[in-house]
Amino acid sequence: MPRKKPITVEDLWQIERLGTPSLSPDGAQAVAALTRFSMDDNKSSASLWLLSTLGGRPRPLTHCGSKDGAPQWSPHGDLIAFTAKREQQGVKDDETQLYLIAPDGGEARRAAEVPTGVDAFRWCPDGRRLVLLSWVWPGLKGSKAQAQAHKDWKARKETGYATSEAQYRHWDQNLPMGRVPHLHLLELGRDGTPAKLRDLFEGTPYELNRADPDATHFDISPDGRRLVFAFDPTPEKRADGRFALAEMDLSSRKVVVIARDAEWDFGAPRYSPTGDRIAFSASHQQRKHTMPAQLALWERETGAWEVVSAEWDHEVHAPLLWEEDGQALLFTSEDKGRQHLWRFDLPDRRAEVVVTGGWVGGFDKTAGTLVALADSASHPGRISVHRTGEAPRRIETFNDALLARLDLGRVEDVWFEGARTVAESAEGDPVQMWLVYPPGFDPKKKYPVLHNIHGGPHTGPGDNWHYRWNTQVFAAQGYVVASVNYHGSSGFGYAFLDSITHRWGELELQDVEAGTDWLLKRRWVDRKRVFAAGGSYGGYMVAWMNGHVAPGRYQAYICHAGCFDWVGMFADDAWAWHARELGAWYWDDMAKLNAQSPHAFAGNMATPTLVIHGALDYRVPDAQGLAYYNTLKARGVDARLLWFPDENHWILKPRNSRQWYAEYFGWLKQHDPATARRA
């Protein structure tokens, strides 16, 4: 057997990435998108694969496309719909379109030419209609007018973005100027007749969420007669809008608002198997902006709704999926650094784990067959089938040959005493820290430590595979990688998550420092070789640490897409949440903001720092990174800048990722005392 080797950046980009599977109506097969990357071409390609849940090798379903994705099996099992940009019959797609293919193969065909493209879709129960999501010009009527507007838009010579909207960009893109996300009904043609497309929201004030609208924001009733969707009832759309639920009769297009409360934010509606109830997520935003999304039910008979998971201290993640008997729902939820698939039993309001993470990222269930896509800190995403009375079974092996050649590090979580939030308690709260050890770790030897500080702050990573900040690739360089789930992290109950509100930096720093203290007591830690790196809120944290931790404790920092100045951060796409997170608008209480802003402590900064940022980052605009870097330079602090003109909050291109890792490791080695000793 060939000798195994540590994982490299090149290995990381050779890993094939699976998408969420969709099951055939009989549960015998699943279809999923598989994305492959080329370091040479600096591109990715995605195709669809069929996976048997009964046994047998996966087989490719599509071959001609390069970006085939989001496949969904039709209710009758005769077709698979997916989104793609292709060239067919001499027509090249300007926008992503909907395609159909038979599960036994053949050529995929464009379902219809939607001038403004297709972002998401759902099948209607009859298998002959689909509901599509597309961004349209709301003042225009009919597909011809939309097509002409799209043609004119593509041909324009002006490049300016003009708007009066409060919400106009999200993460890494400007929202389509002057357009809104509408739902359309597509009736498939028969015997060569063309498909019919109808804008369901045309002439109405309704639209879907402008921030990443997708298929979780609407659903079709089991009888195919109704459509439920989440919408923002306020005239001005903002990132912190509180959504209501409405139901449309697909024949008459009559809309009735079925659940609306100015204090609550609703989303992810799903009809029960009989259509008499709708499950959805509900967050009590008037109480606190950090309130979790809970499971709620609307009853058709009474027209009333209630939260059914109020006593369960976990956040419910979309999508929701009803069990066939209508007595329970499936969804994912985090718990102490892992994300499981849960079943919530409605009669006794009790949640139980159905599939254990790692990190369950996608799932589907039908005809008694459950498939789940899950990864962990020890392996990338893979798909398994779960049936009652049977052990879980893998149904693909796409990355097994590659992983068999790699020597990955051992992963474990440890707990220590962190910051104290209960005044009458004499002890600090228990805090979790994930450790990834270098391959071949020997506790008798000495190792450097690298803190990998997560973003959010209200996320809780741990036992998951991360392609852009891969702890196994970090550990392969010889570091013990530590990831602290500090106060504010998700998956540890609401009180823990909300504890940092209006005092950012305070408890998190105590937790990271307590984690460092725990590590320094291990005999295998080289006390003079401790580093800290973080991205997004983790980048904020290392900038905060530079102003609050005495120089010398950490040999160097790496700040990726980090927040530096909360006044300057008002240029971001999430400005509506600033006062709720920080406790005040900057014009009302500058002192309160400065008390939580790294830039206000720049006079203490002395630790060498690598600053990384992308110009297309709208969540943390690149001026934040540039200001931090310039500040360090002005102060004479050893600093280096890696700036990408074509990347956003994440580094998505293979070649740029390789450069990112090279600069990352180069900076650590440059400031590693061991490197100086060897020199």
- Tell me 260's DSSP state: -
H or E, element range at 118:
none
Q: What is the mean pLDDT of residues 576-589?
A: 96
Residue type, 469: W
Residue type, 428: G
46 touches 17 (CB < 8 A): no
What tokens does 262 get?
Answer: 């100015």
pLDDT of residue 106: 86
Tell me the sheet residues that pair with 146: none
End-to-end CA distance of the chain: 36
Question: Is residue 459 very low, low, confident or very high in pLDDT (cuts 50, 70, 90)?
Answer: very high
Q: What is the mean pLDDT of residues 82-100?
A: 91
Question: Is residue 31 very low, low, confident or very high in pLDDT (cuts 50, 70, 90)?
Answer: very high
Instruction: Report pLDDT digits (tens) over 149-158.
Output: 999 999 999 9
What tokens does 12 get?
Answer: 């990381």
* Percentage of the chain exceeding pLDDT 70: 99
Q: What is the mean pLDDT of residues 221-241?
A: 96
pLDDT of residue 679: 56
pLDDT of residue 678: 64
Calculate the average pLDDT of the chain: 96
Instruction: Report pLDDT digits (tens) over 241-284.
Output: 999 999 999 999 999 999 999 999 999 999 999 999 999 999 99
Q: What is the mean pLDDT of residues 206-216?
A: 96
Domains and their CATH numbers in the chain = 411-678 (3.40.50.1820)
Instruction: Report pLDDT digits (tens) over 624-653.
Output: 999 999 999 999 999 999 999 999 999 999
Q: Is the pLDDT of residue 332 over 60?
A: yes
Instruction: Report pLDDT digits (tens) over 129-166.
Output: 999 999 999 999 999 999 999 999 999 999 999 999 99
Q: Is the pLDDT of residue 33 over 90?
A: yes
Question: Is residue 676 very low, low, confident or very high in pLDDT (cuts 50, 70, 90)?
Answer: low
Instruction: Report pLDDT digits (tens) over 285-326.
Output: 999 999 999 999 999 999 999 999 999 999 999 999 999 999
Q: What is the mean pLDDT of residues 369-394?
A: 96
Rounded to two decimals, what is the model's pTM? 0.96
H or E, element range at 184:
strand 180-187
Q: How far apart are CA 83 and CA 113, in angstroms?
A: 12
DSSP class per residue in 212-259: S--GGGEEE-TTSSEEEEEE--SSS--TT---EEEEEETTT--EEEEE
